[in-house]
Each structure stands twice: as structure tokens, then as C-alpha cells.
Amino acid sequence: MAQNEISVATIQRLPIYLDYLKSQDKDTARISATTIALALGFGEVQVRKDLASVSSSGKPKIGYHIRELIKQIEEVLGYNNVNNAIIIGAGKLGCALLGYEGFSHSGLNILAAFDADPSKTGKTESGKPIYSMAELSDFCKKTKVHIGIITVPAMHAQSACDALIEAGILAVWNFAPAHLDIPEHIIIKNENMASSLAVLSSNLAKKLNEEA
């Protein structure tokens, strides 16, 4: 499988295909790119290209075998290996992510959260543990955890990131609105909500100015 050649844009659409394919799995064994494109509101050419990059088993006039396609997409996305993750920062966002059920079918298994504030340690509503930062290193050594999710305030993000990397984390999912310095071998994905809001807000400002 030529996984290296799949574009980021395609990878970002794969979970959307996956959700849809799973919802159709009971009703029918095969599905065409045309049907998928129509159902998701995507262009047909794009769907064909996306699916061709993960699977060579689509047949003209017959389409894709749904279960096979699901398996192939999950393989590309690494959903077959369950990815253990931990969260640094047990504030509101951290706890929302800790209890978010939508991640489980993505192979993401959030084991615990860590917080610098000792008064936050204990169990969350969702039954998952919150530990103090002093326990991070030991916890990572004992469990096979690759992903660290950062949900601390911006000013503490770099030190949270450093602690994760020291504890052996390979990939960082950063929700703090801060630029992080990381070694080259660490995978990082920044999820900057202030930046997303900025795009929405500046477009809205333009729109309101035009109307005024």
C-alpha cells in the first residue's frame, strides 16, 4: 500500500468516509463512489481519487466491497493498533476530551489525565483517573502510551510538552494556543481553536462591514 503518497487533505476526509461506510455496512455489501459522493456532498472525482489512494479493490460498475474498504481505511489511519493516549491539563477541555466517547472507534484510547494542581487528582465523572504531574514519567514507563494531548493554558504548554517528550511520548496533539519547540522525531498536530475562531471572526467582520 502506497501510504506515503496519501495527501493530508485525503487523510482528513478518511474518517468521514469511515463513519458513512460503517453506517451502510448492514444494508449492503458493495457501494459505488457515486453513492458515497452523493451521500456526503463531496465531488465524485474527489471521492474516486481518495478511495483509489487507500484501496485498489474498487471495480467499475460494481464498486467497493464495504467491509474490505473499511478495513483498508482503518489500516491507513492506524486504527487497527489501538493508540493509547494521555492528557496533560485536567481543566474543562481536558475533561471533555477525557470523557469524549467519539474517539473510541478511532482507536484512540485515552487512559488518564495529569494535572499540576494536586486538588484535581482523583476520578472524573467518566471514571477515568486524574494523576499529579509527578506520576507522569512512571505511568508512561508502565503503559504503552504514544500520544500526549496538551490542554493546559498557553503559558504552561511548552513545559507540558517537554515533560511528555521526556516521558517517551512520540506524538503530541496540542490544544494550547502556543507554538511548541519539539525535536524533529516527534509528531505534532496543533489544534488551535483561537486560530479557527480568528478565521470565522474575520470573515464575519468583513461580511458585517460589507452589509453596513
Grid cell for residue 53: 489512494
CB 153 within 8 A of CB 176: yes
Detail the DSSP E strand segments found in 48-207. 64-65, 83-88, 108-115, 122-123, 129-132, 147-150, 171-174, 187-190
Residue 184 within binding range of its own copies, rule CB under 8 A: no
Residue with Cβ nearer its own copies (134 or 188) = 188
CB within 8 A of 31, min separation 6: which ones? 21, 24, 63, 64, 66, 69
In the range 87-146, which residues lie near its own copies by CB under 8 A?
92-93, 95-96, 99-100, 102-103, 106-108, 146
Distance CA(52)–CA(30), nearest Å, equals 15
**Cα angle 77, 79, 83; round to 5:** 110
Residue 45 within binding range of its own copies, rule CB under 8 A: no
Backbone angles phi, psi at 61, to 5 degrees: 70, -15
Residue with Cβ nearer its own copies (135 or 162) = 162
Residue 84 within binding range of its own copies, rule CB under 8 A: no
Residue 165 within binding range of its own copies, rule CB under 8 A: no
Nearest Cα residue to 77 out of 50, 43, 114, 41: 50
Residue 200 within binding range of its own copies, rule CB under 8 A: yes
Residue 32 CB, shortest distance to its own copies, in Å, is: 18
Q: Which of 21, 24, 78, 165 binds its own copies (CB under 8 A)?
A: 78
Residues in contact with its own copies, counted by CB under 8 A, come to a total of 63
Residue with Cβ nearer its own copies (71 or 207) = 207
Residue with Cβ nearer its own copies (135 or 201) = 201
Residue 75 CB, shortest distance to its own copies, in Å, is: 8
Grid cell for residue 54: 487507500
Distance CA(208)–CA(212), nearest Å, equals 6
Q: Using CB under 8 A as the criterion, which residues of the chain lie in contact with its own copies when the complex forms?
A: 3-4, 6, 8, 11-16, 19, 40-42, 75-79, 81, 83, 92-93, 95-96, 99-100, 102-103, 106-108, 146-147, 153-154, 170-171, 173, 177-179, 181, 187, 189, 191-208
